[in-house]
Each structure stands twice: as C-alpha cells, then as structure tokens.
C-alpha cells in the first residue's frame, strides 16, 4: 500500500516535462489513454513511500524531489541501495519479475511520484514494442548504474568512499559545489557501507585539511580535484 500524503492529482501530460524523456513512442491516442490512468502522488520529506514486502501495484517514477531506495535486514539495519533523482525510475528492473517489493522507498525531500497501474503498464508493453524497448533500455540503464556504483564503492577505503559520495552529490545530484546534504551522516554510512562515526570522522578530517567546508548539513567542496584524487586512489 502506498501512503498518500496530500491529494492524488491527475497529471497534465501535455505540460509534463517528462513526456518526451520517457514516452516518446506514443501516438496521441496512446498518450491520452496512458495519461488517463496516471496519477501524481505527493510525499512529504521523511515519509515512507514503499515498504519492503508490499505488493507491487504501480510502476512509478520520480517527478520532483529526492528519494532513497533501501533494504532493512533482520537486525534492523538499513542499507541504502541508491538515491533516485527527478526523472529516475523508482520502480527498478524487478518490477516485472517480482510481485512484491524487495526494497523500501522513502522521501529525502518533499517529492512527487508519477504512478501508473502496473497491469496497465504491462498491457501497453505487450502491445507497443517501441515502448517496451524504450522501457527496457531505461530500466537496464538504472540497474547498470546501481551495479557499477556498488562495485565502485566496494573497492574504496573509507576516505575514498566519502570523497566518492561527496562528489556524487555535488556533480550528479545538485550540480553545485555547495549543497545541503539530503541525508544524515548515518544514511551516508548506510549508503557506502561504513560506520556513522567513521563517516563523521572522515568529514572532519576533510574539513581540517580544508578540502571541504561544513556547516551542519551544508557542505562546500573547496578542493574538488583533491577529492577526486582521493576518490580515485581508493
């Protein structure tokens, strides 16, 4: 079950900037039918969008905001699988091979999801080969990114890991050397596989070495090239 914060609204697809990004294979009629069944769901920062184990009812992608995909193990510890930006799919490749989610999703910032009934999505994919291929390409790219990132993180030591994720936030997500960290230090740790204390410690070291400036959650990369070197070395 999806927890709806606020009103679900019909998406005006003619206005939707995502239209060409995702569904450039539709003709007018198909697009109309598609959009008729599509809804937008707003979620406020911190709310849980999907809980691991619940039934997959929607295919969804992120229209605005920022969300994290994560797993919780038996002892209650979380592992962040990836952080999804606007235009990213929240539904991963498993969407068609599984009936239940193998991960949870929660909103790091106020976010809006576009959701389409999964059965409807399958129907369209069955009929429209171009759509199907487009979807496969996109889903493949997302999975690929997650796997490669996981391998990149794995081979780094603590300094390399922290440098890597700082650069990721700066380049991929905020496109700015100054940004507010959307996640706590603990969540950073859950993302890159280290302890919270060591994330904090490493950030402090970077600050002392004047590689970054820290003001609470606000972070400025002062020497991105040096961070790059640290990230690549590990």
Kindly list the residues in this chain that would bind DNA in the complex (CB under 7 A): 157-159, 181, 184-186, 193-198, 200-201, 203-204, 214, 216-217
Beta bridge partners of 116: 38, 59
Structure tokens at 113: 């999801």
User: Considering the complex, what minimum distance in angstroms separates the CB of residue 156 from DNA?
Assistant: 8
The yes or no reply on residue 195 touching a second copy (CB under 8 A) is no
71 binds, among a second copy, DNA, none (CB under 5 to 8 A by kind): a second copy
User: Considering the complex, what minimum distance in angstroms separates the CB of residue 73 from a second copy?
Assistant: 7
Contact present, 56 and 100 (Cβ < 8 Å):
yes
Closest to DNA by CB, 63 vs 185, is 185
Structure tokens at 19: 């239209």
Structure tokens at 219: 């972070």
CA separation for the pair 102, 200 (Å, rounded):
30
Closest to DNA by CB, 128 vs 202, is 202
The yes or no reply on residue 95 touching a second copy (CB under 8 A) is yes
Structure tokens at 11: 């998406």
Structure tokens at 31: 């697009």
User: Considering the complex, what minimum distance in angstroms separates the CB of residue 24 from DNA?
Assistant: 40
Beta bridge partners of 139: none
Closest to a second copy by CB, 145 vs 210, is 145
Which listed range, 37-45, 56-64, 109-117, 149-157, lies at the site for a second copy (CB under 8 A)? 149-157
The yes or no reply on residue 98 touching a second copy (CB under 8 A) is yes
Backbone angles phi, psi at 185, to 5 degrees: -60, -35
CA separation for the pair 155, 165 (Å, rounded):
13
Among 19, 71, 171, 223, binds a second copy (CB under 8 A): 71
CA separation for the pair 66, 170 (Å, rounded):
14
User: Considering the complex, what minimum distance in angstroms separates the CB of residue 131 from DNA?
Assistant: 41
User: Considering the complex, what minimum distance in angstroms separates the CB of residue 160 from DNA?
Assistant: 8
Q: Is 72 exposed, middle or buried (0-12, 13-18, 19+ CB in 10 A)?
A: middle
Structure tokens at 14: 């003619």
197 binds, among a second copy, DNA, none (CB under 5 to 8 A by kind): DNA
Closest to DNA by CB, 9 vs 195, is 195
Quick one: how far is CA 24 from the chain centroid? Answer: 22
The residue ranges that bind a second copy (CB under 8 A) are 71, 73-74, 77, 79, 81, 92-98, 102, 122, 125-130, 132-133, 135-141, 143-144, 146-148, 150-151, 154-155, 193, 232
């Amino acid at each position: 079950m999806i927890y709806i914060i606020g009103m679900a609204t019909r998406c005006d697809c003619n206005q939707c900037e995502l239209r060409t990004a995702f569904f450039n294979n539709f003709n007018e009629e198909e697009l109309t039918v598609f959009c008729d069944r599509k809804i937008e769901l707003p979620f406020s920062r911190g709310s849980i969008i999907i809980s691991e184990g619940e039934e997959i009812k929607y295919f969804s992608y992120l229209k605005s905001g920022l969300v994290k995909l994560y797993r919780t193990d038996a002892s209650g510890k979380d592992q962040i699988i990836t952080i999804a930006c606007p235009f990213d799919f929240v539904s991963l490749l498993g969407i068609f091979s599984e009936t239940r989610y193998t991960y949870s999703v929660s909103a790091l910032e106020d976010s809006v999801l576009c959701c389409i009934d999964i059965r409807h999505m399958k129907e369209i994919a069955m009929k429209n080969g171009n759509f199907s291929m487009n979807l496969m390409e996109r889903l493949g790219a997302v999975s690929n990114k997650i796997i490669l990132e996981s391998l990149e993180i794995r081979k780094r030591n603590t300094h390399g890991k922290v440098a890597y994720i700082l650069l990721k936030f700066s380049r991929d997500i905020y496109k700015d050397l100054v940004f507010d960290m959307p996640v706590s230090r603990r969540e950073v740790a859950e993302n890159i596989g280290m302890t919270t204390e060591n994330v904090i410690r490493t950030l402090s070291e970077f600050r002392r070495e004047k590689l970054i400036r820290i003001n609470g959650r606000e972070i400025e990369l002062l020497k991105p090239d040096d961070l790059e070197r640290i990230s690549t070395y590990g």
